[in-house]
Amino acid sequence: QVQLVESGGGLVQAGGSLRLSCTTSGRTVSSYVMGWFRQAPGKEREFVASINWSGGLTDYADSVKGRFTISRDNVKRTVSLQMNSLKPEDTAVYYCAANSKSAYAAYTLTVKESYDYWGQGTQVTVSS
């Protein structure tokens, strides 16, 4: 089993920054594709960013490109999402996810149904 715990959310003004962390435990995820998703009230959960096992491949939703950066530290077993130039439309619960069937994959994953482990989420609120 894999456990994922997100942290780092909070309230920030538009234009500000936050850094989300996903701490993993249980079975190691160092070989898995990892992703961040978000869900705003009344909306579907949507893709934000994904990273392959080595960190050499990343992918981003168009809405966050150039503002967000995903990274991972396989020694510390963490995955991070640096969010800069935040906008009110970034307000959502942010979720960390892992795909356990992607060992050492040379790809990223943007579809939420591809992920089989999820954290509980952390709230990010951006005020205007």
pLDDT at 102 over 90: no
Distance CA 87, CA 85 (A): 7
Distance CA 95, CA 121 (A): 4
Distance CA 109, CA 119 (A): 17
Percent of the chain with pLDDT over 70: 100
Query: Per-residue pLDDT tens for 63-86?
Result: 999 999 999 999 999 999 999 999
Average pLDDT value over all residues in the chain: 97
Question: Can you tell me the mean pLDDT for 90-102?
Answer: 96
